[in-house]
Structure formats: structure tokens, C-alpha cells
């Protein structure tokens, strides 16, 4: 009889461990979502089904402010980081390998490797100086900071796509009288579009979700949704937090799903 290849799914206890892992991962989230529909005033008591905390969050002007700020910030950071990431990806793939290229990869991906708290403290110090010099204390600092740590997330799918692209296509365009700009405009960019959209959405979600750097860089009255929620937890907490988190979760799931389908689509 032929020996069957090793299959971890066939090992005893696999199903049990898998089930346990799923519960550990998703039970808290399920509880959070369930309690967002709680009618009670407290997180610790279940008082029947209700949408009151969704309505309450929707009508809370602080939540509205923070939400709009989060979205504006995420759109800016995602847009800027996608442009920078596209340029970086082109510069690192459309060139023969040379010494120092690996260093550049590491440099571009630096926000993935340096602990976020270190970057946060560093930015706090730099930006507070600049704030004193310029007197400007608007959203620009947060946009810059978010753009910086979003770049690697936008860069990865774009670079992967460029590396998989047949270089002959760009040569063919050049052969057919397209100058470098028109080659980019008519051939490279359309073929890159799914990866650019994917990169944008990843960057958007990452920016929307950020707490640490935002907490350090923001000026007074510049709460984003995550930092607002963090602030609420220090006080008496109501299921309103759950309601906000549930909406947040739904939005993220939606974006990741769209990302998945966009990325899977062949040119």
C-alpha cells in the first residue's frame, strides 16, 4: 500500500485545536458585536436587543468629529503613500539589481521593522519643534506621519505586481513609438491599476486603525476615532464604544473583501 504523504489535518486532536483557536480569536469579537446591540447602560449587563447605542454614537458630535477626521486623514495618507509607493516600486523594479538595492528595500519597509512607539516618540519631538517654529498645528503633521507608515503597505502589492509584469510589454510600447511617459500612461499604469487600488485600500485601513503614532503626534482637539475610543475607556464605558467598534469592524471587513476581489482580478 502506498504511504500517504504527511497531512497535518489527519493528526489526532487537529480539529479540537483548530476549533479552540477559532473561538479564542473570534469569541471576543462576537461578544463585542453582540453587546453593541445591548439596551442596557452598562457593558456588564444584558438588557435586551436595541439599536440605541448606534443612534447615540451617530448623534454624538464628538464621535462625528473624530470619524470625519479619521476618514479625511486616511484618504490623504492613503493617497499620498500610494503615489510615493508607486514611484518607489517603479524605481526598485525597473532597474537591474545593484549593490545597495536590498538596503533600499529595507529602508522603504522601515516602518514595518522599527517599533511604532519609537517612531511615535521621535515624531513627537521633531513635530513639537516644528510647531513652535512655524506656529502651524493643523492636520498636516498627522497626514505626514500616517503617510510615512502607510508607504510599505501600499508598496508591497504594487512591487509584487511590477515584478510579475512582463518587461517585454514596456519594450513593445517603446518599439511602437510610445515615449517613456506614454508607455507608463498607456501600458504600465493600466496593468498596475489593481495593485494600486489594493495598495490604497490597505494603506487606508492601516491609517484608519492607528492609535500609537496618532496619540503622540496629534494636537489638542485632534482626536481620531481610535484615540477617542481609547480616551473613553479611561472613563465610564457604555455600549456606545461597542457600537462604534462594530461599525469600524464592518467597514474594515468590507474594505478587505473589496481588496481581495480587486487583487484577484486578472488584467
Residue of the chain from 172, 233, 254, 258 that contacts another protein (CB under 8 A): 172
Q: Closest approach of Cβ 157 to another protein, in Å? A: 18
Q: Closest approach of Cβ 267 to another protein, in Å? A: 5
Question: Would you count residue 133 as binding another protein (CB under 8 A)?
Answer: no
Residue of the chain from 100, 175, 220, 221 that contacts another protein (CB under 8 A): 175
Residue of the chain from 179, 254, 256, 261 that contacts another protein (CB under 8 A): 179
Question: Would you count residue 164 as binding another protein (CB under 8 A)?
Answer: no
* Binding window for another protein (CB under 8 A); candidates: 154-162, 185-193, 205-213, 215-223: 185-193
Return the number of the residue (45 or 182) whose C-beta is nearest another protein. Answer: 182
Return the number of the residue (32 or 174) whose C-beta is nearest another protein. Answer: 174
| Residues within window 29-58 making contact with another protein, judged by CB under 8 A | none
Side-chain-side CA neighbours of 66 within 13 Å: the count stands at: 27
Question: Would you count residue 169 as binding another protein (CB under 8 A)?
Answer: yes
Residue of the chain from 178, 197, 249, 251 that contacts another protein (CB under 8 A): 178
Residues that bind another protein (CB under 8 A): 166, 168-169, 171-179, 182-183, 186-187, 190-191, 266-267
Amino acid at each position: 500500500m502506498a504511504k500517504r504523504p504527511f497531512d497535518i489535518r489527519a493528526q489526532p486532536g487537529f480539529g479540537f485545536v483548530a476549533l479552540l483557536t477559532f473561538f479564542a480569536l473570534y469569541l471576543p469579537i462576537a461578544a463585542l458585536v453582540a453587546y453593541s446591540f445591548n439596551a442596557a447602560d452598562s457593558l456588564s449587563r444584558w438588557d435586551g436587543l436595541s439599536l440605541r447605542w448606534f443612534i447615540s454614537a451617530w448623534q454624538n458630535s464628538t464621535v462625528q468629529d473624530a470619524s470625519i477626521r479619521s476618514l479625511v486623514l486616511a484618504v490623504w495618507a492613503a493617497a499620498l503613500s500610494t503615489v510615493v509607493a508607486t514611484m518607489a516600486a517603479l524605481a526598485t523594479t525597473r532597474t537591474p539589481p545593484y549593490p545597495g538595492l536590498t538596503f533600499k528595500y529595507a529602508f522603504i519597509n522601515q516602518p514595518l521593522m522599527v517599533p511604532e512607539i519609537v517612531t511615535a516618540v521621535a515624531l513627537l519631538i521633531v513635530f513639537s519643534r516644528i510647531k513652535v517654529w512655524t506656529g502651524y498645528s493643523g492636520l498636516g503633521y498627522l497626514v505626514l506621519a500616517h503617510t510615512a507608515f502607510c508607504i510599505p503597505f501600499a508598496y508591497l502589492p504594487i512591487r509584487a505586481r511590477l515584478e510579475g509584469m512582463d518587461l517585454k510589454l514596456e519594450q513593445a510600447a517603446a518599439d511602437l513609438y510610445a515615449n517613456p511617459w506614454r508607455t507608463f500612461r498607456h501600458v504600465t499604469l493600466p496593468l498596475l491599476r489593481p495593485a494600486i487600488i489594493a495598495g490604497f485600500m490597505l494603506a487606508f485601513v492601516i491609517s484608519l486603525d492607528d492609535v500609537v503614532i496618532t496619540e503622540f503626534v496629534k494636537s489638542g482637539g485632534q482626536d481620531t476615532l481610535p484615540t477617542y475610543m481609547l480616551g473613553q475607556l479611561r472613563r465610564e464605558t457604555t455600549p456606545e464604544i461597542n457600537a462604534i467598534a462594530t461599525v469600524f469592524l464592518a467597514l474594515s471587513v468590507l474594505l478587505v473583501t473589496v481588496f481581495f476581489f480587486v487583487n484577484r482580478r486578472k488584467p
